[in-house]
Structure 1
Amino acid sequence: MSAGLAGVGAAALPAAPIRLAQAQTPPAAPALPYRRHAVRAPDGVTIAAYEYGNPQGQAILLVHGYQQAAMSWDRQTRDPDLAREFRLVAIDLRGHGMSGKPEGDQHYKPGQVWADDVKSVIDQLSLSKPVLVGWSYGGRVMGDYLNAHGHAALGAMNWVGATASVADPKRFGRAGRFNTPATGLSDDPATAIRGTVAFLRECFELQPTASDFETMLAFNMMVPRHVRMALQGRPLDIEARLKALDIPVLVTHGALDKAVDVSMGRYTAGVVPGATLSVYDGIGHAPFWEDAPRFNRELAALARSVRRA
Protein backbone atom coordinates (compact mmCIF):
# COMPACT_ATOMS: atom_id res chain seq x y z
CA MET A 1 0.00 0.00 0.00
CA SER A 2 1.35 3.43 -0.93
CA ALA A 3 1.89 6.07 1.73
CA GLY A 4 -0.91 8.15 0.20
CA LEU A 5 -3.47 5.41 0.18
CA ALA A 6 -2.44 4.48 3.69
CA GLY A 7 -3.06 8.03 4.76
CA VAL A 8 -6.47 8.14 3.10
CA GLY A 9 -7.43 4.85 4.67
CA ALA A 10 -6.33 6.00 8.09
CA ALA A 11 -8.22 9.25 7.77
CA ALA A 12 -11.38 7.44 6.72
CA LEU A 13 -11.45 5.20 9.79
CA PRO A 14 -13.26 6.46 12.85
CA ALA A 15 -10.99 7.27 15.73
CA ALA A 16 -10.83 4.51 18.36
CA PRO A 17 -12.43 5.60 21.59
CA ILE A 18 -9.94 6.49 24.29
CA ARG A 19 -10.69 4.69 27.55
CA LEU A 20 -9.64 6.66 30.56
CA ALA A 21 -8.98 4.84 33.79
CA GLN A 22 -11.73 5.58 36.26
CA ALA A 23 -10.73 6.61 39.73
CA GLN A 24 -11.42 3.62 41.92
CA THR A 25 -13.02 4.15 45.28
CA PRO A 26 -11.24 1.91 47.76
CA PRO A 27 -13.55 -0.58 49.41
CA ALA A 28 -14.76 0.45 52.82
CA ALA A 29 -12.93 -1.15 55.69
CA PRO A 30 -14.93 -4.03 57.10
CA ALA A 31 -16.90 -3.30 60.23
CA LEU A 32 -15.03 -5.10 62.99
CA PRO A 33 -16.51 -6.19 66.30
CA TYR A 34 -13.53 -4.79 68.22
CA ARG A 35 -11.32 -1.75 68.63
CA ARG A 36 -7.71 -2.43 67.74
CA HIS A 37 -4.95 -1.06 69.95
CA ALA A 38 -1.19 -1.11 69.35
CA VAL A 39 0.44 -1.05 72.78
CA ARG A 40 4.11 -0.12 72.98
CA ALA A 41 6.13 -2.14 75.49
CA PRO A 42 9.15 -0.54 77.22
CA ASP A 43 11.58 -2.49 75.00
CA GLY A 44 9.81 -1.27 71.85
CA VAL A 45 7.84 -4.42 71.01
CA THR A 46 4.28 -3.72 69.84
CA ILE A 47 1.55 -5.71 71.58
CA ALA A 48 -1.70 -6.12 69.65
CA ALA A 49 -4.79 -5.68 71.83
CA TYR A 50 -8.43 -6.06 70.86
CA GLU A 51 -11.20 -4.39 72.85
CA TYR A 52 -14.80 -5.60 72.90
CA GLY A 53 -17.95 -4.87 74.81
CA ASN A 54 -19.01 -2.10 77.17
CA PRO A 55 -16.31 0.60 77.46
CA GLN A 56 -17.78 1.63 80.82
CA GLY A 57 -17.94 -1.89 82.22
CA GLN A 58 -15.62 -3.73 84.56
CA ALA A 59 -12.44 -4.53 82.63
CA ILE A 60 -11.44 -8.12 81.93
CA LEU A 61 -7.96 -8.70 80.45
CA LEU A 62 -7.56 -12.05 78.67
CA VAL A 63 -4.09 -13.61 78.28
CA HIS A 64 -3.78 -16.69 76.04
CA GLY A 65 -1.37 -19.62 76.19
CA TYR A 66 1.67 -20.96 74.37
CA GLN A 67 1.41 -20.67 70.57
CA GLN A 68 -2.15 -19.36 70.82
CA ALA A 69 -3.65 -15.90 70.17
CA ALA A 70 -6.27 -13.42 71.28
CA MET A 71 -8.68 -15.27 68.99
CA SER A 72 -8.57 -18.17 71.45
CA TRP A 73 -11.06 -16.17 73.53
CA ASP A 74 -13.69 -15.78 70.78
CA ARG A 75 -16.36 -17.51 72.85
CA GLN A 76 -15.88 -14.85 75.51
CA THR A 77 -15.28 -11.70 73.48
CA ARG A 78 -18.26 -12.43 71.22
CA ASP A 79 -20.64 -13.45 73.97
CA PRO A 80 -23.44 -10.84 73.91
CA ASP A 81 -24.10 -11.03 77.65
CA LEU A 82 -20.47 -10.52 78.58
CA ALA A 83 -20.08 -7.75 75.99
CA ARG A 84 -23.16 -5.95 77.28
CA GLU A 85 -21.81 -5.76 80.83
CA PHE A 86 -18.02 -5.84 80.66
CA ARG A 87 -15.08 -4.25 78.90
CA LEU A 88 -13.22 -7.20 77.38
CA VAL A 89 -9.63 -6.88 76.20
CA ALA A 90 -7.76 -9.79 74.61
CA ILE A 91 -4.10 -9.50 73.66
CA ASP A 92 -1.66 -11.30 71.39
CA LEU A 93 1.36 -12.04 73.54
CA ARG A 94 4.71 -10.92 72.15
CA GLY A 95 5.84 -13.35 69.49
CA HIS A 96 2.25 -14.41 68.81
CA GLY A 97 -0.60 -13.36 66.54
CA MET A 98 -0.22 -9.81 65.25
CA SER A 99 2.20 -8.68 67.98
CA GLY A 100 5.88 -8.03 67.35
CA LYS A 101 8.16 -11.05 66.91
CA PRO A 102 11.74 -9.82 67.35
CA GLU A 103 14.60 -12.32 67.35
CA GLY A 104 16.81 -12.77 70.38
CA ASP A 105 16.30 -14.44 73.76
CA GLN A 106 16.44 -11.06 75.48
CA HIS A 107 12.93 -10.43 74.18
CA TYR A 108 11.46 -13.61 75.68
CA LYS A 109 13.53 -15.16 78.49
CA PRO A 110 13.33 -12.44 81.17
CA GLY A 111 10.14 -12.38 83.23
CA GLN A 112 10.33 -8.59 83.29
CA VAL A 113 9.43 -8.22 79.61
CA TRP A 114 6.22 -10.23 80.02
CA ALA A 115 5.34 -8.37 83.20
CA ASP A 116 5.86 -5.04 81.47
CA ASP A 117 3.71 -6.10 78.50
CA VAL A 118 0.76 -6.69 80.81
CA LYS A 119 1.40 -3.47 82.72
CA SER A 120 1.67 -1.51 79.46
CA VAL A 121 -1.72 -2.80 78.31
CA ILE A 122 -3.31 -1.93 81.66
CA ASP A 123 -1.76 1.55 81.72
CA GLN A 124 -2.13 2.56 78.08
CA LEU A 125 -5.73 1.34 77.84
CA SER A 126 -6.58 2.77 81.30
CA LEU A 127 -7.96 -0.51 82.60
CA SER A 128 -9.23 0.12 86.12
CA LYS A 129 -8.80 -2.85 88.48
CA PRO A 130 -9.02 -5.41 85.66
CA VAL A 131 -9.80 -9.06 86.14
CA LEU A 132 -6.61 -10.69 84.88
CA VAL A 133 -7.38 -14.02 83.17
CA GLY A 134 -4.54 -16.32 82.13
CA TRP A 135 -4.78 -19.62 80.26
CA SER A 136 -1.99 -22.21 80.39
CA TYR A 137 1.30 -20.36 79.64
CA GLY A 138 -0.68 -17.23 80.47
CA GLY A 139 -0.25 -18.32 84.10
CA ARG A 140 3.50 -17.86 83.72
CA VAL A 141 2.87 -14.40 82.34
CA MET A 142 0.56 -13.54 85.24
CA GLY A 143 3.26 -14.83 87.59
CA ASP A 144 5.83 -12.59 85.91
CA TYR A 145 3.46 -9.67 86.43
CA LEU A 146 2.98 -10.47 90.12
CA ASN A 147 6.73 -10.76 90.68
CA ALA A 148 7.47 -7.43 89.02
CA HIS A 149 4.44 -5.32 89.88
CA GLY A 150 2.44 -7.04 92.62
CA HIS A 151 -1.35 -7.19 92.55
CA ALA A 152 -2.37 -3.71 93.74
CA ALA A 153 -3.59 -2.68 90.27
CA LEU A 154 -5.68 -5.83 89.79
CA GLY A 155 -9.30 -6.40 90.73
CA ALA A 156 -9.31 -10.21 90.54
CA MET A 157 -7.52 -13.12 88.87
CA ASN A 158 -8.66 -16.23 87.01
CA TRP A 159 -6.12 -19.06 86.54
CA VAL A 160 -7.44 -21.20 83.67
CA GLY A 161 -5.60 -24.50 83.18
CA ALA A 162 -2.73 -22.25 84.13
CA THR A 163 0.84 -22.87 85.17
CA ALA A 164 1.53 -21.50 88.66
CA SER A 165 4.62 -23.55 89.47
CA VAL A 166 7.27 -25.55 87.61
CA ALA A 167 8.59 -27.32 90.70
CA ASP A 168 6.78 -30.63 90.13
CA PRO A 169 6.86 -32.13 86.62
CA LYS A 170 3.97 -34.41 87.57
CA ARG A 171 1.69 -31.36 87.39
CA PHE A 172 2.16 -31.29 83.62
CA GLY A 173 0.47 -33.61 81.14
CA ARG A 174 1.51 -35.58 78.10
CA ALA A 175 0.87 -32.76 75.60
CA GLY A 176 4.34 -31.39 76.24
CA ARG A 177 5.91 -34.22 74.25
CA PHE A 178 4.78 -32.42 71.11
CA ASN A 179 6.83 -29.32 71.98
CA THR A 180 10.33 -30.75 71.51
CA PRO A 181 12.98 -30.36 68.79
CA ALA A 182 11.80 -33.70 67.40
CA THR A 183 8.19 -32.53 67.11
CA GLY A 184 6.68 -29.03 67.17
CA LEU A 185 10.04 -27.30 67.65
CA SER A 186 11.66 -29.02 64.68
CA ASP A 187 13.40 -26.96 62.03
CA ASP A 188 11.69 -29.16 59.43
CA PRO A 189 8.40 -27.46 58.51
CA ALA A 190 6.44 -30.66 57.92
CA THR A 191 7.55 -32.11 61.25
CA ALA A 192 6.77 -28.87 63.07
CA ILE A 193 3.29 -28.76 61.56
CA ARG A 194 2.57 -32.37 62.52
CA GLY A 195 3.76 -31.68 66.06
CA THR A 196 1.63 -28.57 66.31
CA VAL A 197 -1.45 -30.42 65.07
CA ALA A 198 -0.90 -33.13 67.68
CA PHE A 199 -0.30 -30.58 70.46
CA LEU A 200 -3.41 -28.65 69.54
CA ARG A 201 -5.51 -31.82 69.59
CA GLU A 202 -4.25 -32.52 73.10
CA CYS A 203 -5.51 -29.11 74.23
CA PHE A 204 -9.12 -30.30 73.90
CA GLU A 205 -11.11 -33.20 75.29
CA LEU A 206 -14.18 -31.99 73.38
CA GLN A 207 -12.64 -31.37 69.97
CA PRO A 208 -13.31 -28.18 67.92
CA THR A 209 -15.12 -28.35 64.60
CA ALA A 210 -12.96 -28.75 61.50
CA SER A 211 -13.40 -25.06 60.67
CA ASP A 212 -12.46 -23.92 64.17
CA PHE A 213 -9.48 -26.25 64.24
CA GLU A 214 -8.21 -24.83 60.95
CA THR A 215 -8.34 -21.32 62.40
CA MET A 216 -6.56 -22.44 65.57
CA LEU A 217 -3.85 -24.23 63.63
CA ALA A 218 -3.35 -21.13 61.50
CA PHE A 219 -2.70 -18.85 64.45
CA ASN A 220 -0.51 -21.48 66.13
CA MET A 221 1.67 -21.55 63.03
CA MET A 222 1.98 -17.74 63.13
CA VAL A 223 4.40 -18.22 66.05
CA PRO A 224 7.93 -18.49 64.60
CA ARG A 225 10.31 -21.21 65.68
CA HIS A 226 12.66 -18.75 67.40
CA VAL A 227 9.81 -17.66 69.65
CA ARG A 228 8.73 -21.22 70.44
CA MET A 229 12.29 -22.10 71.38
CA ALA A 230 12.78 -19.03 73.56
CA LEU A 231 9.64 -19.73 75.58
CA GLN A 232 11.00 -23.08 76.75
CA GLY A 233 12.51 -23.50 80.20
CA ARG A 234 11.69 -20.14 81.72
CA PRO A 235 11.77 -20.28 85.56
CA LEU A 236 8.74 -19.48 87.71
CA ASP A 237 8.81 -18.90 91.47
CA ILE A 238 5.67 -17.13 92.64
CA GLU A 239 4.42 -19.08 95.66
CA ALA A 240 5.06 -16.18 98.04
CA ARG A 241 3.16 -13.87 95.68
CA LEU A 242 0.24 -16.29 95.51
CA LYS A 243 0.09 -16.52 99.31
CA ALA A 244 -0.04 -12.72 99.51
CA LEU A 245 -3.05 -12.29 97.18
CA ASP A 246 -5.98 -10.58 98.88
CA ILE A 247 -8.22 -10.15 95.83
CA PRO A 248 -10.86 -12.56 94.49
CA VAL A 249 -9.20 -15.52 92.75
CA LEU A 250 -10.90 -18.20 90.68
CA VAL A 251 -8.99 -21.30 89.62
CA THR A 252 -10.60 -23.00 86.60
CA HIS A 253 -9.38 -26.40 85.46
CA GLY A 254 -10.54 -29.26 83.27
CA ALA A 255 -10.48 -32.63 85.03
CA LEU A 256 -9.09 -34.27 81.86
CA ASP A 257 -6.46 -31.63 81.07
CA LYS A 258 -3.61 -33.27 79.11
CA ALA A 259 -1.36 -30.19 79.05
CA VAL A 260 -1.45 -28.93 82.65
CA ASP A 261 -2.70 -31.58 85.04
CA VAL A 262 -5.63 -30.77 87.29
CA SER A 263 -3.26 -31.20 90.25
CA MET A 264 -1.78 -27.83 89.20
CA GLY A 265 -5.16 -26.19 89.68
CA ARG A 266 -5.56 -27.81 93.07
CA TYR A 267 -2.10 -26.57 94.05
CA THR A 268 -2.90 -22.99 93.02
CA ALA A 269 -6.24 -22.97 94.83
CA GLY A 270 -4.59 -24.42 97.93
CA VAL A 271 -1.89 -21.74 98.05
CA VAL A 272 -4.03 -18.65 97.39
CA PRO A 273 -6.01 -17.58 100.48
CA GLY A 274 -9.74 -17.86 99.86
CA ALA A 275 -9.40 -18.99 96.25
CA THR A 276 -12.33 -20.76 94.56
CA LEU A 277 -11.55 -23.95 92.65
CA SER A 278 -13.86 -24.84 89.75
CA VAL A 279 -13.12 -28.24 88.20
CA TYR A 280 -14.89 -29.14 84.95
CA ASP A 281 -15.62 -32.84 84.71
CA GLY A 282 -15.17 -34.34 81.24
CA ILE A 283 -13.33 -31.24 80.02
CA GLY A 284 -9.74 -30.83 78.85
CA HIS A 285 -7.23 -27.98 78.72
CA ALA A 286 -9.64 -25.37 77.30
CA PRO A 287 -12.71 -25.10 79.57
CA PHE A 288 -13.45 -21.60 78.24
CA TRP A 289 -13.94 -23.17 74.81
CA GLU A 290 -15.25 -26.62 75.65
CA ASP A 291 -17.89 -25.36 78.11
CA ALA A 292 -18.16 -21.66 77.32
CA PRO A 293 -21.61 -21.11 78.91
CA ARG A 294 -20.41 -22.28 82.34
CA PHE A 295 -17.07 -20.51 82.00
CA ASN A 296 -18.71 -17.23 81.02
CA ARG A 297 -21.16 -17.39 83.94
CA GLU A 298 -18.34 -17.95 86.40
CA LEU A 299 -16.17 -15.24 84.83
CA ALA A 300 -19.05 -12.76 85.05
CA ALA A 301 -19.59 -13.60 88.72
CA LEU A 302 -15.88 -13.09 89.39
CA ALA A 303 -15.89 -9.73 87.61
CA ARG A 304 -18.89 -8.58 89.63
CA SER A 305 -17.04 -9.40 92.84
CA VAL A 306 -14.27 -6.88 92.20
CA ARG A 307 -13.93 -4.42 95.05
CA ARG A 308 -13.78 -0.86 93.82
CA ALA A 309 -11.33 1.47 95.58
Structure 2
Amino acid sequence: MPTLPVCSMPGPVIKECVSSDGTRIYADATGNPQGQSIVFVHGFALSGIVFDNLFADERMLQNFHLVRYDMRGYGRSGKPKEASAYTSALFAADFAAVMKEFSLSKPVLVGWSAGASIIADICAYISPCPLSGIITISGAVCPATAPKTFLPKLLGFFEAFLSQDATTALTARPAFVDALFNDPSKVSTEFKTALIGTTVAATPEIIAAIHTGHKPGECQDALLELGAKGLPVMALYGTEDTLQSGAHLMCTYNPPY
Protein backbone atom coordinates (compact mmCIF):
# COMPACT_ATOMS: atom_id res chain seq x y z
CA MET A 1 0.00 0.00 0.00
CA PRO A 2 1.52 3.37 -0.97
CA THR A 3 2.08 5.74 1.93
CA LEU A 4 0.50 9.15 1.65
CA PRO A 5 2.77 12.20 1.91
CA VAL A 6 3.66 13.02 5.48
CA CYS A 7 1.38 15.74 6.77
CA SER A 8 0.63 17.39 10.05
CA MET A 9 -2.16 15.30 11.51
CA PRO A 10 -4.60 16.96 13.89
CA GLY A 11 -5.28 15.43 17.28
CA PRO A 12 -8.46 13.48 17.93
CA VAL A 13 -11.64 15.41 17.19
CA ILE A 14 -14.59 14.57 19.46
CA LYS A 15 -18.15 15.43 18.51
CA GLU A 16 -21.67 14.82 19.71
CA CYS A 17 -23.72 14.18 16.59
CA VAL A 18 -27.43 14.87 16.89
CA SER A 19 -29.53 12.21 15.17
CA SER A 20 -32.90 12.73 13.54
CA ASP A 21 -34.83 12.06 16.77
CA GLY A 22 -32.55 14.22 18.89
CA THR A 23 -30.50 11.36 20.34
CA ARG A 24 -26.88 12.40 20.81
CA ILE A 25 -24.30 10.09 19.26
CA TYR A 26 -20.74 10.20 20.55
CA ALA A 27 -18.07 10.07 17.83
CA ASP A 28 -14.40 10.85 17.43
CA ALA A 29 -11.95 10.98 14.55
CA THR A 30 -8.20 11.00 14.07
CA GLY A 31 -5.59 10.20 11.44
CA ASN A 32 -4.94 11.69 8.01
CA PRO A 33 -7.90 13.76 6.71
CA GLN A 34 -6.50 13.32 3.18
CA GLY A 35 -6.67 9.52 3.41
CA GLN A 36 -9.54 7.13 2.85
CA SER A 37 -12.14 7.50 5.60
CA ILE A 38 -12.92 4.36 7.59
CA VAL A 39 -15.80 4.29 10.06
CA PHE A 40 -15.57 1.67 12.83
CA VAL A 41 -18.66 0.40 14.66
CA HIS A 42 -18.29 -1.66 17.84
CA GLY A 43 -20.03 -4.83 18.93
CA PHE A 44 -22.69 -5.89 21.42
CA ALA A 45 -22.71 -4.08 24.81
CA LEU A 46 -19.41 -2.31 24.11
CA SER A 47 -18.31 1.06 22.70
CA GLY A 48 -15.76 2.59 20.36
CA ILE A 49 -13.00 2.12 22.93
CA VAL A 50 -12.59 -1.43 21.62
CA PHE A 51 -10.68 0.17 18.72
CA ASP A 52 -8.21 2.11 20.90
CA ASN A 53 -5.17 0.20 19.66
CA LEU A 54 -6.07 0.70 16.00
CA PHE A 55 -6.62 4.40 16.61
CA ALA A 56 -3.10 4.65 18.06
CA ASP A 57 -1.39 2.68 15.26
CA GLU A 58 0.98 4.99 13.38
CA ARG A 59 0.49 3.15 10.08
CA MET A 60 -3.26 3.58 10.31
CA LEU A 61 -2.98 7.21 11.39
CA GLN A 62 -0.66 8.09 8.53
CA ASN A 63 -2.73 6.48 5.79
CA PHE A 64 -6.36 6.73 6.84
CA HIS A 65 -8.94 9.06 8.31
CA LEU A 66 -10.27 7.00 11.23
CA VAL A 67 -13.74 7.61 12.64
CA ARG A 68 -15.62 5.66 15.31
CA TYR A 69 -18.84 6.18 17.17
CA ASP A 70 -20.88 4.59 19.92
CA MET A 71 -24.18 3.17 18.73
CA ARG A 72 -27.32 4.48 20.39
CA GLY A 73 -27.98 2.60 23.61
CA TYR A 74 -24.27 1.96 24.20
CA GLY A 75 -21.18 3.66 25.56
CA ARG A 76 -21.22 7.45 25.58
CA SER A 77 -24.19 7.87 23.25
CA GLY A 78 -27.79 8.51 24.24
CA LYS A 79 -29.76 5.61 25.68
CA PRO A 80 -33.49 5.90 25.00
CA LYS A 81 -35.55 3.40 26.95
CA GLU A 82 -38.30 2.79 24.39
CA ALA A 83 -38.01 0.02 21.78
CA SER A 84 -39.37 2.50 19.22
CA ALA A 85 -36.08 4.43 19.53
CA TYR A 86 -34.10 1.53 18.05
CA THR A 87 -35.57 1.14 14.57
CA SER A 88 -33.42 0.54 11.51
CA ALA A 89 -34.29 4.03 10.22
CA LEU A 90 -32.86 5.60 13.37
CA PHE A 91 -29.64 3.55 13.27
CA ALA A 92 -29.21 4.75 9.68
CA ALA A 93 -29.91 8.32 10.77
CA ASP A 94 -27.17 8.03 13.41
CA PHE A 95 -24.67 7.04 10.73
CA ALA A 96 -25.82 9.92 8.52
CA ALA A 97 -25.33 12.34 11.42
CA VAL A 98 -21.77 11.13 11.95
CA MET A 99 -21.01 11.45 8.24
CA LYS A 100 -22.35 15.01 8.23
CA GLU A 101 -20.42 16.12 11.32
CA PHE A 102 -17.10 14.84 9.94
CA SER A 103 -17.83 15.71 6.26
CA LEU A 104 -17.24 12.12 5.16
CA SER A 105 -17.50 11.07 1.54
CA LYS A 106 -17.82 7.41 0.62
CA PRO A 107 -16.21 5.91 3.73
CA VAL A 108 -15.47 2.23 4.24
CA LEU A 109 -17.52 0.82 7.11
CA VAL A 110 -15.98 -1.71 9.49
CA GLY A 111 -18.62 -3.38 11.65
CA TRP A 112 -17.62 -5.74 14.43
CA SER A 113 -20.23 -8.28 15.58
CA ALA A 114 -23.45 -6.33 16.30
CA GLY A 115 -21.86 -3.37 14.56
CA ALA A 116 -22.30 -5.22 11.28
CA SER A 117 -26.07 -5.26 11.72
CA ILE A 118 -26.44 -1.57 10.88
CA ILE A 119 -25.05 -2.08 7.37
CA ALA A 120 -28.45 -3.21 6.12
CA ASP A 121 -30.03 -0.20 7.85
CA ILE A 122 -27.69 2.20 6.08
CA CYS A 123 -28.22 0.64 2.67
CA ALA A 124 -32.01 0.66 3.09
CA TYR A 125 -32.46 4.18 4.42
CA ILE A 126 -29.64 6.26 2.90
CA SER A 127 -29.79 6.70 -0.87
CA PRO A 128 -27.61 6.69 -2.80
CA CYS A 129 -25.50 4.27 -0.79
CA PRO A 130 -22.91 6.32 1.13
CA LEU A 131 -20.37 3.48 1.44
CA SER A 132 -17.43 2.63 -0.81
CA GLY A 133 -16.93 -0.74 0.84
CA ILE A 134 -17.86 -2.95 3.79
CA ILE A 135 -15.77 -5.03 6.19
CA THR A 136 -17.44 -7.19 8.82
CA ILE A 137 -15.57 -8.80 11.71
CA SER A 138 -17.37 -11.71 13.37
CA GLY A 139 -20.64 -10.28 12.16
CA ALA A 140 -23.01 -11.46 9.45
CA VAL A 141 -23.25 -9.13 6.45
CA CYS A 142 -26.91 -10.09 6.02
CA PRO A 143 -28.64 -9.81 9.43
CA ALA A 144 -31.13 -12.58 8.66
CA THR A 145 -28.24 -15.07 8.67
CA ALA A 146 -26.72 -13.77 11.91
CA PRO A 147 -28.29 -16.42 14.19
CA LYS A 148 -26.42 -19.09 12.22
CA THR A 149 -23.15 -17.62 13.48
CA PHE A 150 -24.06 -17.54 17.18
CA LEU A 151 -22.32 -20.16 19.30
CA PRO A 152 -23.91 -21.45 22.55
CA LYS A 153 -21.52 -19.43 24.69
CA LEU A 154 -22.67 -16.17 23.09
CA LEU A 155 -26.34 -17.11 23.48
CA GLY A 156 -25.67 -17.72 27.16
CA PHE A 157 -24.22 -14.25 27.53
CA PHE A 158 -27.25 -12.71 25.78
CA GLU A 159 -29.54 -14.38 28.30
CA ALA A 160 -27.41 -13.30 31.27
CA PHE A 161 -27.18 -9.69 30.07
CA LEU A 162 -30.97 -9.53 29.95
CA SER A 163 -31.37 -10.95 33.45
CA GLN A 164 -33.00 -8.77 36.11
CA ASP A 165 -30.96 -10.61 38.74
CA ALA A 166 -28.04 -8.32 39.58
CA THR A 167 -25.62 -11.12 40.42
CA THR A 168 -26.30 -12.94 37.16
CA ALA A 169 -26.06 -9.79 35.04
CA LEU A 170 -22.89 -8.46 36.67
CA THR A 171 -21.07 -11.80 36.83
CA ALA A 172 -21.60 -12.30 33.12
CA ARG A 173 -19.95 -9.05 32.11
CA PRO A 174 -16.29 -9.73 33.02
CA ALA A 175 -16.69 -13.28 31.69
CA PHE A 176 -17.98 -11.85 28.40
CA VAL A 177 -15.03 -9.46 28.13
CA ASP A 178 -12.57 -12.31 28.75
CA ALA A 179 -14.30 -14.31 26.00
CA LEU A 180 -13.45 -11.57 23.49
CA PHE A 181 -9.78 -12.57 23.59
CA ASN A 182 -7.94 -15.80 22.79
CA ASP A 183 -5.73 -15.24 25.83
CA PRO A 184 -7.26 -12.67 28.20
CA SER A 185 -4.27 -12.98 30.53
CA LYS A 186 -2.23 -11.08 27.93
CA VAL A 187 -4.66 -8.15 27.85
CA SER A 188 -4.02 -5.30 30.26
CA THR A 189 -6.22 -5.07 33.31
CA GLU A 190 -6.85 -1.42 32.50
CA PHE A 191 -8.27 -2.19 29.07
CA LYS A 192 -10.42 -5.08 30.26
CA THR A 193 -11.74 -2.98 33.13
CA ALA A 194 -12.70 -0.23 30.70
CA LEU A 195 -14.60 -2.74 28.57
CA ILE A 196 -16.38 -4.17 31.60
CA GLY A 197 -17.42 -0.65 32.59
CA THR A 198 -18.88 -0.13 29.14
CA THR A 199 -20.95 -3.32 29.39
CA VAL A 200 -22.38 -2.18 32.74
CA ALA A 201 -23.75 0.92 31.01
CA ALA A 202 -25.72 -1.43 28.74
CA THR A 203 -28.43 -2.24 31.28
CA PRO A 204 -30.88 -5.14 30.83
CA GLU A 205 -33.64 -2.64 30.03
CA ILE A 206 -31.64 -0.97 27.26
CA ILE A 207 -30.53 -4.28 25.75
CA ALA A 208 -34.13 -5.52 25.77
CA ALA A 209 -35.28 -2.32 24.03
CA ILE A 210 -32.61 -2.70 21.34
CA HIS A 211 -33.45 -6.37 20.81
CA THR A 212 -37.14 -5.58 20.49
CA GLY A 213 -36.87 -2.47 18.34
CA HIS A 214 -34.03 -3.24 15.95
CA LYS A 215 -35.01 -5.55 13.09
CA PRO A 216 -32.31 -5.11 10.43
CA GLY A 217 -33.14 -8.42 8.79
CA GLU A 218 -36.36 -6.90 7.54
CA CYS A 219 -34.55 -4.29 5.44
CA GLN A 220 -31.64 -6.16 3.89
CA ASP A 221 -33.04 -6.28 0.33
CA ALA A 222 -31.30 -3.00 -0.55
CA LEU A 223 -27.99 -4.42 0.71
CA LEU A 224 -28.40 -7.57 -1.36
CA GLU A 225 -29.18 -5.47 -4.43
CA LEU A 226 -26.11 -3.30 -3.90
CA GLY A 227 -23.99 -6.41 -3.43
CA ALA A 228 -25.27 -7.81 -6.72
CA LYS A 229 -24.21 -4.55 -8.37
CA GLY A 230 -20.66 -4.85 -7.04
CA LEU A 231 -20.49 -3.16 -3.63
CA PRO A 232 -17.22 -4.57 -2.19
CA VAL A 233 -17.64 -6.69 0.94
CA MET A 234 -15.11 -8.54 3.11
CA ALA A 235 -16.29 -10.83 5.91
CA LEU A 236 -13.78 -11.94 8.54
CA TYR A 237 -14.21 -14.60 11.23
CA GLY A 238 -11.64 -15.84 13.73
CA THR A 239 -10.98 -19.57 13.66
CA GLU A 240 -10.49 -19.60 17.46
CA ASP A 241 -13.52 -17.42 18.21
CA THR A 242 -15.67 -19.04 20.92
CA LEU A 243 -18.63 -16.67 20.47
CA GLN A 244 -19.34 -16.65 16.73
CA SER A 245 -18.50 -18.86 13.80
CA GLY A 246 -18.64 -18.11 10.10
CA ALA A 247 -18.56 -21.79 9.15
CA HIS A 248 -22.24 -21.85 8.13
CA LEU A 249 -21.78 -18.81 5.92
CA MET A 250 -18.75 -19.98 4.02
CA CYS A 251 -18.90 -21.58 0.60
CA THR A 252 -16.29 -22.92 -1.77
CA TYR A 253 -15.92 -21.51 -5.27
CA ASN A 254 -14.13 -23.53 -7.90
CA PRO A 255 -13.21 -21.26 -10.83
CA PRO A 256 -13.66 -22.73 -14.33
CA TYR A 257 -9.94 -22.72 -15.14
- Provide TM-score, normalisation by structure 1: 0.70
The yes-or-no answer on 1:72 pairing with 2:65 is: no
Counterpart residue identity of residue 241, structure 1:
L
1:13-24 alignment, distance < 5 Å? none
Judge conservation of contact 1:95–1:224 (CA < 8 Å) in 2.
Answer: no
1:163-178 alignment, distance < 5 Å? 163=140, 164-167=142-145, 169-174=147-152, 175-178=154-157
Structure with larger Rg: 1
Residue aligning to 1:94: 72
Judge conservation of contact 2:48–2:68 (CA < 8 Å) in 1.
Answer: yes
Cα drift, residue 122 of structure 1: 1.3
1:231-250 alignment, distance < 5 Å? 231-232=210-211, 234-235=214-215, 236-237=217-218, 238=220, 241-245=223-227, 246-250=230-234
Describe the shift of the 1:89–1:202 C-alpha distance in structure 2 as closer, same or farther (beyond 3 A).
same
Judge conservation of contact 2:120–2:222 (CA < 8 Å) in 1.
Answer: no
Counterpart residue identity of residue 46, structure 1:
R
Structure 2, gaps ≥5 residues long:
1-9
Once the two structures are superposed, residues 213-234 of structure 1 have per-residue CA deviations (whole angstroms, 9 ceiling, x without a partner) of 1111111112232211122254
Cα drift, residue 187 of structure 1: 2.0
Judge conservation of contact 1:150–1:241 (CA < 8 Å) in 2.
Answer: no
Which secondary structure state, in structure 2, belongs to the residue aligned with residue 117 of structure 1? helix
- Report how many aligned residue pairs link the two structures: 235
Cα drift, residue 195 of structure 1: 1.5
The counterpart of 1:48, out of the listed 26, 29, 32, is 26
Residue aligning to 2:112: 135
Which secondary structure state, in structure 2, belongs to the residue aligned with residue 107 of structure 1? helix
The counterpart of 2:63, out of the listed 82, 85, 94, is 85
Which secondary structure state, in structure 1, belongs to the residue aligned with residue 131 of structure 2? coil
The yes-or-no answer on 1:222 pairing with 2:201 is: yes
Describe the shift of the 1:205–1:130 C-alpha distance in structure 2 as closer, same or farther (beyond 3 A).
same
- Provide TM-score, normalisation by structure 2: 0.83
Ranges of 4+ aligned residues in structure 1 off by more than 4 Å:
none
Describe the shift of the 1:85–1:168 C-alpha distance in structure 2 as closer, same or farther (beyond 3 A).
closer
Give RMSD over aligned pairs: 2.3
Counterpart residue identity of residue 32, structure 2:
N
Structure with larger RCO (C-alpha < 8 A, sep 6+): 2
The yes-or-no answer on 1:190 pairing with 2:172 is: no
Which secondary structure state, in structure 2, belongs to the residue aligned with residue 51 of structure 1? strand
Judge conservation of contact 1:115–1:148 (CA < 8 Å) in 2.
Answer: yes
Q: C-alpha separation between the residues in 1 aligned to 2:173 and 2:105?
A: 37
| Greater alpha carbon shift after TM alignment, 252-261 vs 146-155 | 146-155
Higher share in helix: 2
The counterpart of 1:263, out of the listed 247, 250, 256, is 247
Counterpart residue identity of residue 81, structure 2:
E
Residue aligning to 1:211: 190
Cα drift, residue 168 of structure 1: 6.9
Residue aligning to 2:40: 62
Residue aligning to 2:238: 254
Counterpart residue identity of residue 241, structure 2:
D
Q: C-alpha separation between the residues in 2 aligned to 1:263 and 1:119?
A: 33
Judge conservation of contact 1:179–1:195 (CA < 8 Å) in 2.
Answer: no
Q: C-alpha separation between the residues in 1 aligned to 2:172 and 2:200?
A: 11
Cα drift, residue 52 of structure 1: 0.9
Which secondary structure state, in structure 1, belongs to the residue aligned with residue 21 of structure 2? coil
Describe the shift of the 1:101–1:240 C-alpha distance in structure 2 as closer, same or farther (beyond 3 A).
closer
Judge conservation of contact 1:193–1:221 (CA < 8 Å) in 2.
Answer: yes
Counterpart residue identity of residue 221, structure 1:
V
Describe the shift of the 1:169–1:56 C-alpha distance in structure 2 as closer, same or farther (beyond 3 A).
closer
